[in-house]
Structures are given as C-alpha cells and as structure tokens.
Amino acid sequence: MSPNNEHPTSSNTHHVTARQSYALRAEKATHPLTSYLLRLMTLKSSNLCLSADVSTANQLLSLANSLGPAIVVLKTHYDLISNWDYNPSTGTAARLARIARRHGFLIFEDRKFGDIGNTVQLQYTEGTARIVEWANITNVNMVPGKAAVDALAEAGRKWRERKRYELNVGLSADRQRERDGRKASIVSITTVSQHFEPANSPRSGGEDFGEEVLRGIEEAPLERGLLILAQMSSKGNFMNKEYTDACVESARENSDFVMGFIAQESLNRQEDDQFLCMTPGCQLPPAEDEDAEVKGDGKGQQYNTPQKLIGQMGADIIIVGRGIIKAADPIIEAERYRQKGWEAYEERIA
C-alpha cells in the first residue's frame, strides 16, 4: 500500500498465485473453503462478488435469486435489513442459504468485527443473528490487534467441531431408526431420537432441492472462513503499511481459518502464501462509453476497473455493489462485470 494510503499503482502480479489458474490454486489450497470457492469460480467463469447493501429482506432475496447465476459470493449486511427474520428454519438466512445452493455462491457477512476477543466471539456465535450458523465467510477489522483474529479463529474451530459431532449424532440416530424400524416390524418398538442439525442447512435432510442445485459441484464444506480487512478503497483511510503487514502476519498464524484479505492488491508475498484477495471499489465505465474515466462517488469511495484490480494489482475477486444494483438492468450489468472480471483474469494468467 502506498504511504499516503491512496491506491497502489505498481504491479502486484509477481507472486506465483497471480499467474496460476484458479483450478490449479484450488488443488494446492489448504483451506477447504478457499479450495471450494476457487473451484466454484472455475465452474462459473466468474470472480464477481455482489455487495447487496439493501434495506429489506425481499430486496436481498430478490437480488440473490436474479443475480446468483453471475456471482460466486454474495456480501451481506444483515443489520441493514429492517425486517430480517431470525427464524433458523424459515427466516431470511435460511431462505438465502437455499438460493445460494441453487445458484452456487457463498454468503459473506460483512460484519467487520472490531472489538476485544471475547466480545467478537460472542458477536460471531451468539445473539439474534448467530452469524457463524449461516455465513460461510465473515471479516474482521484488526485495529484491536491480533487477539480479535485469534478469538474468531478459535470460535470457528469450536463451531466446526461441534457441528461435526452433531452431524455424527444425527447420522447415528438415523441408522438407529433404520435398525429399530426393522425390529418394529416384528416387536412394534418405537424409537425417539434427536437430530441437532439446523433446519436451514441442506445437511439436515429436510430440504429437497430437486433439480434446483448447481450441477458440477457439491455442497460447500462445513468449514468457515475469515477475511481480514487489510486495506480500504476509501480516500484518506488510516490503514498504513504497518497495519497491513500485521494483518498478513496474523493471517499466516491462523491460515486454517483465514482465507485472505479485503485489500486493494494481492498480499501474497512468501512462497507458500495462498491467500485470496477480494477487492471493493470496482466500477466499469458506461457500456456506451467504455473509454470514459471512472470517478469516485463523492463520499470518499475511489473506483478502479476490473482490468486494473485483477490484471495489475493481482486481486482475485472484485466486489461490486451500486454499479450493479443501481443499473437500469442489474442482470445485464452483473453479466457485464462478470465478463470483464473474467477477461482480466484470463489475460493475467496468460
């Protein structure tokens, strides 16, 4: 990152990951969710994340359903939704999870945790939202220090272990019911058992997707992932080089949970770094004038094209919000961003 916190301008495609295909990187990735996302990107020929900053559940679900075919990640702000339904079986998150499985994208709750370790753990796993239950990915602002990342990583690991145990309990209960069912035909035994898997998960067996599942890839792995907010696209932000370096160091220390960064450039520096870079502040000029200059929004946000972010700065996924949502036809515009982002990636690895 440049000293004055403006956008970097030098090429950041020197690291081996910038020249490798997403498919090859998926084979080498050690984080299961990173590997899955890279395979999903390859399958859909997309490196587009939609920032769904809307205020009602209907808007959110409608955007997810209509734009889902073009994206690989949907970024949410659940606390912006005025009528978020917290019911674990039929609520907003449950419905969003079904749409995500239908079209093939991951859910990224842009929570930007930024407190002491104990607090962020509780914010992640408890409360009304219980983010860990439905969001594949979340993120953290590391201003409080590394303890926040360590605490979230610990919470993610404990949740995964508990969930695997509950899945095993559920599977054992199902097998027990099968055995008891066979016995009941002779001695009329009735067995009552519990299955702890949340109803909003396809693993519960309660959701029949039928043909409404993206073909060519399995359900996303159980693991959760974290992105560290290492750089920002807003003018005058205070995330200097020392802060960014500390983010990278913390990511390496928790590489089984940290997938990568929200950053303006690839932060892979060491030979074995495999982190993803997701970059906001992406905008295309109007379709009728593709040579036009891309300007900021007048509120501190600075924009760059997919060609610069992916082709020059080494980003892996572009995050686009208003450029798509506010378009006259969001579906057509999402496809335009998907295509431009993919072209920039193909040029980079060529």
Residue 115 annotated as catalytic: yes
Q: How far apart are CA 156 and CA 148, in angstroms?
A: 12
Alpha carbon 106 to its chain's center: 5
β-strands 48-51, 73-76: how paired?
Answer: parallel
Catalytic residue among 28, 44, 79, 115: 115
Catalytic residue among 110, 163, 316, 340: 110
**Residues 274, 28 contacting (CB under 8 angstroms):** yes
233 is in an annotated binding site: yes
311 is in an annotated binding site: no
Angle of CA points 129, 133, 135, to nearest 5°: 85
322 is in an annotated binding site: yes
53 is in an annotated binding site: yes
Count of CB atoms within 10 A of residue 146's CB? Answer: 15
Catalytic residue among 112, 235, 245, 273: 112
321 is in an annotated binding site: yes
Residue 112 annotated as catalytic: yes
172 is in an annotated binding site: no
- 176-190 b/e (C-beta count within 10 Å ≥ 16 → b): ebeeeeeeeeeeeee
Active site residues: 110, 112, 115
Binding residues are 53, 75, 233, 301, 321-322
Binding residues for substrate are 53, 75, 233, 301, 321-322
